[in-house]
Chain A
Amino acid sequence: GAVVSQHPSRVICKSGTSVKIECRSLDFQATTMFWYRQFPKQSLMLMATSNEGSKATYEQGVEKDKFLINHASLTLSTLTVTSAHPEDSSFYICSARDFGGAGEQFFGPGTRLTVL
């Protein structure tokens, strides 16, 4: 199956700093990628849909100025958590859909963000 990488896998930062998370589709082109947030023992919550070459579409309640998404190429989307606070600590997962495939999304391994 298709492979999606995510970097870093784990990051610890101080409150007020910004953190960038990269999501790459390694062996296919992804015009659309998705960013999810997952709290412990809960399901994945969609944050935004990242579209190559255009603005991301954010879900209701997600602050677009806090969670900046850039999809600069067909294989790379980045999520930047700006001015991070402890409540932003969570597990962030990206996924990409291989448009030529059968509808499934391929997920990155996730990034655990801890804000001190």
Chain B
Amino acid sequence: AQTVTQSQPEMSVQEAETVTLSCTYDTSESDYYLFWYKQPPSRQMILVIRQEAYKQQNATENRFSVNFQKAAKSFSLKISDSQLGDAAMYFCAYTLQNSGNTPLVFGKGTRLSVIA
């Protein structure tokens, strides 16, 4: 079974600084997707960034980027120029590619605090 591990229950970062959230996963599949979702206090799940496993290039979305190491099964999220609005729970997630009925497998989450 696939598993996702986030080893940092809580992290904090100074405003305007950079922080990296860790995620590792375990799978025997070769084709899959990885995601980072953000859950602010409103509890609405928001997609931050997506990575297709077949792509070697790391995904980037403005201030958010990932370090995807397929062989190491590692998928970390880097947030640059942190803003107060980045404070939230961040969940790393995995799902199989090309399988519409496969659910997301979530890590336990990392609570990020941003210090002004």
Contacts and interface: CB of A to CB of B under 8 A. Distances in A.
Nearest to A30: B100
B24 to A, nearest CB: 15
Given A44-B106, A109-B43, A110-B44, A103 B97 contact: yes
Contacts of B45: 44, 93, 95, 107
Interface residues of B, number: 22
Interface in A76-110: 91, 93, 95, 97, 99, 102-107, 109-110
Given A103-B97, A104-B33, A104-B35, A46 B103 contact: yes
Nearest to B98: A103
B84 interface: no
Given A104-B47, A110-B44, A43 B33 contact: no
Contacts of B108: 42-43
Given A95-B45, A102-B33, A103-B33, A43 B100 contact: no
B101 interface: yes
B75 interface: no
Contacts of B35: 103-104
Interface in A1-52: 1, 31-32, 34, 38, 41-44, 46, 49, 51
Interface in B65-116: 91, 95, 97, 100-101, 103-104, 106-109, 111
Contacts of B15: none
Nearest to A106: B47
A8 to B, nearest CB: 14
B21 to A, nearest CB: 14
B52 A102 contact: yes
Contacts of A93: 43, 45
Nearest to A48: B103
A43 B105 CA distance: 10
A51 B102 CA distance: 11
